[in-house]
Amino acid sequence: MRLLSNLLKRFVRTGTLRVIDAAGGEHVFGDGAPAPRAVMRVHDPALYRRLALNPELHAGEAYMAGTLTFEDGTGVGDLMSLFGENRAGLAGHASQRVLRRVWRAARRWQQANPVGVAARHARHHYDVPVEIYRLFLDEGLNYSCAFFRDPAHDTLEAAQEEKLRRIAAKLALRPGMRVAEIGCGWGSLAIHLARAGAHVTAINVSPAQLAVARARAAAAGLADRIDFREVDYRVLDGRYDRVVSVGMMEHVGIGHYDEYFARVRDLLTPDGWAMIHCIGRMTPPGTTGPFIRKHIFPGGYTPALSEVFAATERQGLWVADMEVLRRHYEYTLQHWRDRFAARRQEAVAIAGEPFARMWEYYLAAVQIGFRNGSNMVFQILLSTRNDAVPIVRDYMYAPATPDAVPPPASPDRVTAAA
């Protein structure tokens, strides 16, 4: 316990952490403030050393196994809130600095996603029974950041529908346009774009997701307007008026950004553009946390903007527009956590208690990354020409009729557009 106590004394400066050890002894860390506060019990003495050496991995695994539990009404969310307020103290500890240097040295290996391996990594997460996802997602099965106009009152369904509407508006669709969607999830965006008149080629490497997406498109009467394909993005060919990718770039990995943006570039018609929606970080390049990397998103990484823009520069792409959504994913995750908690026993019946604990830990950890950490979501518009995307955003707010959607802003229209 001495090694763990040394770490926790340096780690917890704000709030209160009470640890009940395996022998029933109590240890209190922090400044005594009533919040953030967590009370955790360690049931296995072997955890002391593991938690001291790699707390971000072993706390989650111990919670999954039931050898670390929470008392006095606190839970894993309270531990995450405490961590969020004190993350600098943990990162500054000598043992954690060494660990982070090791992770950074290995990150290209950790994020290696060649064809085949990328599919295996994706299926680890997305081939979880869809019944699990139905417990906490909206009816459209949107598994990415929603857009909240009023976080206090918007329902999750309304916020996800608004996200889809804004993406379609950024694409400035006209009937008959050909759209490629890289990473289609369970088909919600493809269905939305097809309803707007587009012909959509939607790709995914998860057969379980594709089966649901095809069934949903058929039920919506849109099967003839959406071509769902089980292929890697590097294999997709053809030319498209628009390319869209939501929540997929997080699975690419830093060693593959040039492949990814080169494929986006080569799929576009000369006057087309792409819309990429991805989780990023406002800090310099880093690594993926060990629990998330091992149990949730193997091969995954949320990039720094410097890594993204360096790759678009190398591939000759214009970043014609960029928008940063800072708190929207925090609000989205709160809805997901509330819904999962309300139906937790159903999750246990489907996948077992360790899985339910893993999912709780995952959702709470990710939410803290958006509340107190460096995570955000960015949306960028990419084109090969500097006049493909309209030069002002007003086109997004035009009435949703074909005649109201402006064509690209060519040089002879600049004065009028301005």
In angstroms, the CA 343 to CA 52 distance is 33
In angstroms, the CA 57 to CA 193 distance is 40
Q: Are residues 177 and 267 in the same domain?
A: yes
Number of domains in the chain: 2
386 in Cβ contact with 409 (< 8 Å): no
Q: Is 21 exposed, middle or buried (0-12, 13-18, 19+ CB in 10 A)?
A: middle
What residue numbers bound the domain in which 295 lies?
117-417
pTM of the model: 0.91
In angstroms, the CA 334 to CA 315 distance is 37
pLDDT digits 0-9 by tens, 134-182: 999 999 999 999 999 999 999 999 999 999 999 999 999 999 999 999 9
The one-letter amino acid at 271: D
Residue 285: which of 300, 260, 312, 306 has the closest Cα? 306
Residue 404: which of 107, 196, 118 has the closest Cα? 196
Residue 112 placed within a domain: no
| pLDDT of 270 above 90 | yes
DSSP reduced 3-state for 308: helix
| pLDDT of 377 above 80 | yes
pLDDT digits 0-9 by tens, 223-251: 999 999 999 999 999 999 999 999 999 99
Query: CA 159 from chain center: how many Å?
Result: 16
Task: Single out the residue in 76, 105, 134 at which a domain terminates.
Answer: 105
Q: Are residues 67 and 189 in the same domain?
A: no
Long-range contacts made by residues 337-346, C-beta under 8 angstroms, separation at least 24? 337/77, 337/136, 337/363, 337/364, 337/367, 339/135, 339/136, 339/137, 339/156, 340/135, 340/136, 343/135, 343/136, 346/131, 346/135
Q: Are residues 72 and 163 in the same domain?
A: no
DSSP reduced 3-state for 366: helix
Residue 216's region, left for phi above 0, alpha for psi from -120 to 50, else beta, is: alpha
Q: Are residues 80 and 199 in the same domain?
A: no
Task: Single out the residue in 63, 84, 105 at which a domain terminates.
Answer: 105
Residue 352 placed within a domain: yes
